[in-house]
Amino acid sequence: MSGGVEWALHCCVVLSGAERPVPAQRLAQLHDVSPTYLAKQLQALSRAGIVRSSQGAAGGYALVRDPGEVTVLDVVEAVDGAGPAFVCTEVRQCGPFPAPPRDCARACPIARAMHDAERAWRASLRSVTIADLAGTVADEVPPERLGAALQWLRGPAG
Amino acid sequence: MSGGVEWALHCCVVLSGAERPVPAQRLAQLHDVSPTYLAKQLQALSRAGIVRSSQGAAGGYALVRDPGEVTVLDVVEAVDGAGPAFVCTEVRQCGPFPAPPRDCARACPIARAMHDAERAWRASLRSVTIADLAGTVADEVPPERLGAALQWLRGPAG
Ligand code: FES
Ligand code: FES
């Protein structure tokens, strides 16, 4: 899993609390990430239809949908891709006793066990939304610090 | 996830059906894998206490424990390591509004969501044993092919 997932999730939580579009530069400053690295993650989120950018003096990034409708899985898949972590190369069809293709319509039992586990992983990530995360952050972060950060996000670039 | 997982799991299922130790070379031939690549996976399984090798004319690899006591998770962690896929770098402690260390005794809500999902993944892999996989293989693979392969594993190296 790439390090971009941590940043992208933090970014979405921040945007869910922002009252207006946040310039990419501000998002980078807020978490002390390089703007180049940031741009890559924001592009991935943008391609996945999770954020959109607007131009102009008040321009910046914003969530496209309600934060209650964006799941953690959406963000993870936007950044790291939706492909399976376990890839079956059909080793059962190799060697001196290969399974004939007609016996391989169904995935190998080993691949099924691995895919079941990935389904459980995805189901867990799908059960949490950006709004859920933002709610927990609001419960756990002292209101002064949260307020100061949101205030700063609104202010002029500096 | 490394490709070694697929091979290592197939190898453990094969060993659970073998009546005596299987030479590494046979295991490599059976699935048409390079002996060098094979050696790496077998060493990982051996370090994790899942297989052991014996020397001599009848030597080779065997499972150490009952196949009903070796889980898919054991094999996956032996090959790919037991560390988390998501690594939190504490980005919340960076930037102009860092969370002070005293507020960070508990993992960040984002890290918790990611770790919950990995727990679900591990629980799923822990619920399936090598014996379970071997049972499914025995149900799904025609007995002639399975018998021929097991017969060949017992025979002289060739
Ligand atoms: S052939 Fe790929 S997991 Fe069995
Ligand atoms: S600080 Fe690492 S996930 Fe939030």
A13·B117 Cβ contact <8 A: no
Please state, in angstroms and rounded to a whole number, the distance separating the CA atoms of residues A49 and A63.
9
Nearest by Cα to A113 from A88, A82, A83 = A88
Spell out which residues line ligand 1, taking CB within 6 angstroms: A 88-92, 108, 110-111; B 6, 10
**Residue B2: its pLDDT value, please?**
77
Residue with tokens 């898919």: B72
Nearest by Cα to B136 from A134, A29, A111, A13 = A111
Please state, in angstroms and rounded to a whole number, the distance separating the CA atoms of residues A134 and B65.
46
Atom of ligand 2 nearest to the CA of B90: 1
C-alpha count within 13 angstroms, C-beta hemisphere, residue B100: 4
Please state, in angstroms and rounded to a whole number, the distance separating the CA atoms of residues A132 and B110.
10
Q: Which of B114, B116, B119, B122 to mutate to test the interface with A (most CBs of A within 10 A)?
A: B114
Residue with tokens 């790496």: B40
Indicate the pairing of strand B51-54 with strand A60-63.
unpaired
A5·B133 Cβ contact <8 A: no
Closest residue in A to B124 (Cα) is: A117
| 10-69 of B, contacting A, C-beta below 8 A | 10, 13, 29-33
Whole-model pTM: value is 0.94
Cα B11 to ligand 2 centroid, rounded to whole Å: 38
Task: Report, as an integer, the average pLDDT of B60-77.
Answer: 97
Nearest by Cα to B157 from B45, B20, B50 = B20
For the cut 90, the answer to whether the pLDDT of residue A3 exceeds it is no
- Residue A52, classed as helix, strand or coil, is strand
User: In this prediction, does ipTM exceed 0.90?
Assistant: yes
Mean residue pLDDT of chain B comes to 94
Please state, in angstroms and rounded to a whole number, the distance separating the CA atoms of residues B79 and B3.
9
Q: What is the pLDDT of residues B83-118, one digit of tens each?
A: 999 999 999 999 999 999 999 999 999 999 999 999
Q: What is the pLDDT of residues B37-50, one digit of tens each?
A: 999 999 999 999 99
> In this structure, are residues B58 and B20 in contact, taking their beta carbons and an 8 Å threshold?
yes
pLDDT band at B158 (very low <50, low <70, confident <90, very high): very low
C-alpha count within 13 angstroms, C-beta hemisphere, residue A130: 24
Q: End-to-end CA distance of chain A, in Å?
A: 33
Indicate the pairing of strand A51-54 with strand A60-63.
antiparallel
Ordered domains of chain B (ranges, CATH) = 3-154 (1.10.10.10)
**Residue B65: its pLDDT value, please?**
96
Q: What is the pLDDT of residues A18-61, one digit of tens each?
A: 989 999 999 999 989 999 999 999 999 999 999 999 998 889 99
